[in-house]
Structure 1
Amino acid sequence: MSTHHPGTRAPAPEDAKAQLRTSIRKARLHRSERRRAELAEQLRDHVLALPEIVQADCVSVYASRTHEPGTLPLIEALHERGVRILVPRLGDGLQRGWSLYQGAEDLIERAPGRPPEPSGEFLPPDAIGDAQVVVVPALAVDSTGTRLGQGGGWYDRALEGLDPRVPIVALTFAAEFRGPDELALPRESHDVGVHRVITPEGTTALTA
């Protein structure tokens, strides 16, 4: 039954997104470090099983912060295979770009609240064009490929010019994926859809 009342309006997409971000971030705080590590290993195994990953020699992967779906086991596994890994990086004047992963000891949190970053050569935004798969963070994903990001729009801008044949893979926790029978996420014109969502439980192809 509808919960809409005459004279009321549904929240604007940006307001609805802000509310969702707050609730999801709060929920993520309740996982223990041990549990986060277990889930990161499960995510790693699902990503490594993707056919496109098996064949790739260059992949872009975000370096996860504490309560995000963990990527460090995945990054290290790809590195051990000899895959080039593009990690998001802030340059001078907060210019957005990439750097190549060179080892776990090289990933450093350079400012409070920022994701860990490599220290190697700063690569421009269009370096993402070398990636054959792009793994992105998400607070939530729905069955149409809509991704709820952190709110800065960084990945949406980075992915705009990406070859449409390159799969964009979002990582979330199971409760953060909304299936076809659930309410869709708010989506704005600048939001770039994803092709697959991977949770610790498995992989789902989407209609981005």
Structure 2
Amino acid sequence: MTDAVANAKRALRAELRERRRTMTEPEREAASSRLTQHLVDLASDLGVRRIAAYLSRPDEPDVRPFVDWAWRQDIEVLLPVSRNDGLLDWAPYDAGAEEADHLGMPTPTSELLSPLAINEVDLIVVPAASVDRTGMRMGWGRGYFDKTLGSMEKCPPVYAVLFDSEVVDEVPRERHDRPVDGVVTPSGITHFSR
């Protein structure tokens, strides 16, 4: 990565973190309700039976109500568990106990599955710092999802979950960065052509 790209990513991430920190609780609650409905619509339209998602942290767009909805609909939900080698294991969501992985990310305490478990899902819902109008995703800098998506032979639709202001004209990019098929924001679902 060139210094210019690294600096541009670092600056954009800092700006986005600050925006997220300054959101009010009523703004977050309203965004969560709309995000949940759009994610439900997306999953229903695609007729998914198995999805890969994640458990959001307090500063992220809240996908937990969607994960709970999917589980109640008997849709199998796989959640990532980060490993020291930069790969993701997966664990089925069971609405049970949670713990933090070695990066402090919330994960279920259910059975741990290998990185290959994601190959059987119908939809992948990923976190992001930002996505540009062409579908290029910028994550938070650890590369877990880029590695996962880049290693899949047959990748199902991938949608990033963001606040509206995090869809931008352009994000700094590197060769390993992976685009997404769409974004889900409080104002709706945007699909990108591939």
Q: TM-score, normalised by structure 2?
A: 0.90
Structure 2: which amino acid aligns with 1:26? E
Structure 2: which amino acid aligns with 1:41? S
Look up the match of 1:90. 82
Partner Cα distance (2:45, 2:158) in 1: 11
Structure 2: which amino acid aligns with 1:71? V
Q: C-alpha deviations, 1:46-94, integer Å up to 9, x for none?
A: 0111266651110011110111111100000000000000101135877
Partner Cα distance (1:115, 1:66) in 2: 11
Look up the match of 1:108. 99
Paired residues of 1:48 and 1:54 also in contact (CA < 8 A):
no
Look up the match of 1:30. 22
In the alignment, structure 1 segments of 5+ residues that lack a partner are 1-9
Q: Secondary structure at 2:118's aligned position in 1?
A: helix
Look up the match of 1:186. 172
Rg bigger for which structure? 1
Q: Secondary structure at 2:94's aligned position in 1?
A: coil
Q: Secondary structure at 1:166's aligned position in 2?
A: coil
Q: How does 1:14-163 map to 2 (within 5 A)?
A: 14-50=6-42, 54-90=46-82, 96-103=88-95, 105-109=96-100, 114-163=104-153
Paired residues of 1:41 and 1:74 also in contact (CA < 8 A):
no
Look up the match of 1:176. 166
Q: Secondary structure at 1:185's aligned position in 2?
A: coil
The alignment-based identity, stated in percent, is 30
In the alignment, structure 2 segments of 5+ residues that lack a partner are none
Paired residues of 1:88 and 1:96 also in contact (CA < 8 A):
yes
Partner Cα distance (2:99, 2:82) in 1: 12
